[in-house]
Amino acid sequence: MKKPNRCSMVGMLLVLTLTTQPVLASMNLALDKGCLSCHGSPPRGKTPTFTQLAERYAPLKGQESQIKEKIKHLREHHLFGGVPAHERLSADEAGRFVRWLVDGGH
Ligand code: HEC
């Protein structure tokens, strides 16, 4: 077995940092906002888990106008069956979540 040299170690660390950071930020955000109390596993009642939502959103990849629609829709106030946690999201937070889900949610 060849020992990895210093250069490839640094490269690996860089890749790890670049790929895990945004995901962690989203998940921390989800925890902070209590999203996982409904969307976690097991989910509350019929709430779709983030994994299921990611599957539902996957076809939106690259469809910028549809993604924007989703972001707007998520934060809209619904008279019946609205989720206050959704309505409290800022445009920025909602955007990050929706895009995170479109990208696979992991
Ligand atoms: C009180 C429970 C509850 C909480 C807390 C909650 N959700 Fe939801 N969420 C739901 C339910 C129920 C649905 C499915 C009904 C629907 O689609 O509106 C849903 C749907 C969604 C959808 C899909 C919307 C669509 O129509 O495509 C997204 C995205 C989402 N939630 C994100 C979040 C995020 C991000 C948070 C944290 C800020 C959050 N949710 C917190 C219950 C909750």
Is residue 41 classed exposed, middle or buried when 0-12, 13-18 and 19+ CB atoms within 10 A define those classes? exposed
Is residue 16 in a domain?
no
Distance from the CA of 61 to the center of ligand 1, in angstroms?
Answer: 19
User: Does 2 fall in a domain?
Assistant: no
Residue 93 forms part of a structural domain: yes
- State the closest ligand 1 atom to the C-alpha of 46, by its place in the atom list counted from 1: 12
User: Containing domain of residue 78, as a range?
Assistant: 22-102
Return the residue whose CA atom lies nearest to atom 25 of ligand 1.
74
Q: Model-level pTM?
A: 0.79
Q: What is the Å distance from ligand 1's center to 101 Cα?
A: 12
Q: Which atom of ligand 1 is nearest to the CA of 94?
A: 35
- Closest Cα partner for 73 from 56, 82, 26? 82
Domain count, the chain: 1
How far is residue 73 CA from its own chain's centroid? 16
Q: What is the pLDDT along the chain (106 residues), one digit of tens a residue?
A: 666 666 666 666 656 555 555 566 677 777 778 898 999 889 999 999 999 999 999 999 999 999 999 999 999 987 777 899 999 999 999 999 999 999 998 7
